[in-house]
Structure 1
Amino acid sequence: MSRLVLTGMNLVAVGLLVFALYFPRHRRRDLVVAYLGVNVGVFAVASSLSSGTVGAGLGLGLFGVLSIIRLRSTELDQHEVAYYFSALALGILGPLSGTSIWTVAGLTALILAVMYVGDHPRLLRRYRRHVMVLDTVLTDPVALTAHLEQQLGARVHAVNVERVDLVNDTTVVDVRYSRPKAASGAARQPAETGATR
């Protein structure tokens, strides 16, 4: 398989992943650099070391080692982790696949299509997650759920109490909820949110 064709396919694929999918949706510039650097770096290393005897092991080893290093360096949201693994997969796919160019093109298109659909703003758009700091101590699950539903104007599906501070009279909760179907496009921001994820 032509190395030049593989390189071109990888650059086009990671360009689409980063500049057509990730950045327009999430606007985080530092991860644009990270995704591009990881992809091109992995592609270069995999291309120079690939052979029939070490291909599969090298691919899995690069995937695992780089994942551990990158994921330990900073906190990433789950959608950012998904883009990170997609950039890794695209970089490894061509040099180590040992298959036809059409198979590589199909798998590349599959990765991009899954990320396009899975991270689409309209997919499950009513469902939200917030880490909230409440200005009262609430430990009863029923009362806590009712309070959160009143504050959010939404149906609470799950709530996890992360911290209770009896001195400052606060409760930190991780809440999963869904907005009503008739709600406007703009999400209602809770007044007591200390941190949002």
Structure 2
Amino acid sequence: MSAYALMAVDLVAISVLVFAVYLPRHHRRDLVVAYLGVNVGVLAVAAVLGQSTVGAGLGLGLFGVLSIIRLRSTELSQHEVAYYFAALALGLIAGLDAAPAGLSIGLMALVVVVLALADTRRLLSRYRQQTLVVDRAITDETALVAYVEGLLGARVDHLDVQRLDLVNDTTVVAVRYESSARGRAADQVPFELPATEGAQR
């Protein structure tokens, strides 16, 4: 297979990844442009490096530096980082053309399929995470966990206190929890703290 044909396969793969997998699920137009630009840019540079006397290792090192700069320039969630590196990988596989054509196409298809399957709400849908602002300052971790479980109607797996504000009587927590199938009833009363735990209203 010629290099041009492999580039065409890459364009098909990144189009499927972005327009059929990412965009319908996450609806971020700015990252669609970023993923397409990164993929085509890496594809072009990798193709040039593959035909020049510059070592592929140097090219990969440059991509690593650029990736660090790009990822530090804005806040990305972990699944968005995964799509970002998938776009990089597709461009590198097609641009360097270091493997047999069949293997390269198989690897590109594998990247797209794995992300399509992994980034679905059906996979581990009960496990969630949120950052909550609790309307009282709670210094006791056991009481805080019980109170958050009452608010969420779910079992808390991990709770990390990010800020405890005794002046404004609030607590900011990052919570990882497992939601129940029935959810929280509308009339469910949350865990009540002892009188000494909360500040006076």
Q: Distance in 2 between matches of 1:23 and 1:139?
A: 42
- Counterpart residue number, 1:100: 100
Q: Distance in 1 between matches of 2:80 and 2:33?
A: 13
1:174 and 1:168, CA in 2 relative to 1: closer, same or farther beyond 3 A? same
Kindly indicate whether the alpha-carbon contact (under 8 Å) linking 2:86 and 2:111 is maintained by their aligned counterparts in 1: yes
Q: Distance in 2 between matches of 1:105 and 1:89?
A: 12
Q: Distance in 1 between matches of 2:45 and 2:108?
A: 19
RMSD in angstroms over aligned alpha carbons?
A: 1.6
> Counterpart of 2:136 in 1: which secondary structure?
coil
Q: Distance in 2 between matches of 1:62 and 1:117?
A: 30
- Alignment of 1:5 with 2:26, yes or no, is no
- Counterpart residue number, 1:34: 34
> Counterpart of 2:81 in 1: which secondary structure?
helix
Deviation at 1:6, TM superposition (A): 1.2
Q: Distance in 1 between matches of 2:111 and 2:170?
A: 43
- Alignment of 1:79 with 2:84, yes or no, is no
- Counterpart residue number, 2:180: 180
Q: Distance in 2 between matches of 1:111 and 1:55?
A: 25
Alignment of 1:80-159 (within 5 A): 80-159=80-159
Deviation at 1:74, TM superposition (A): 0.2
> Counterpart of 2:181 in 1: which secondary structure?
coil
Q: Distance in 2 between matches of 1:123 and 1:18?
A: 20
Q: Distance in 2 between matches of 1:161 and 1:137?
A: 11
Kindly indicate whether the alpha-carbon contact (under 8 Å) linking 1:159 and 1:173 is maintained by their aligned counterparts in 2: yes
Which residue identity is paired with 2:136? T
Q: Which runs of 4+ in 1 moved over 3 A?
A: 51-56
Q: Distance in 2 between matches of 1:42 and 1:156?
A: 42
- Size of the aligned set, in residue pairs, is 184
> Counterpart of 1:50 in 2: which secondary structure?
helix
Deviation at 1:54, TM superposition (A): 4.4
Q: Distance in 2 between matches of 1:45 and 1:158?
A: 43
Kindly indicate whether the alpha-carbon contact (under 8 Å) linking 2:3 and 2:97 is maintained by their aligned counterparts in 1: no
- Structure 1: tracts of 5 or more residues without a match: 185-197
> Counterpart of 1:155 in 2: which secondary structure?
strand
TM-score by length of 2: 0.86
- Counterpart residue number, 1:24: 24
Kindly indicate whether the alpha-carbon contact (under 8 Å) linking 1:59 and 1:92 is maintained by their aligned counterparts in 2: no
TM-score by length of 1: 0.88
- Structure 2: tracts of 5 or more residues without a match: 185-201
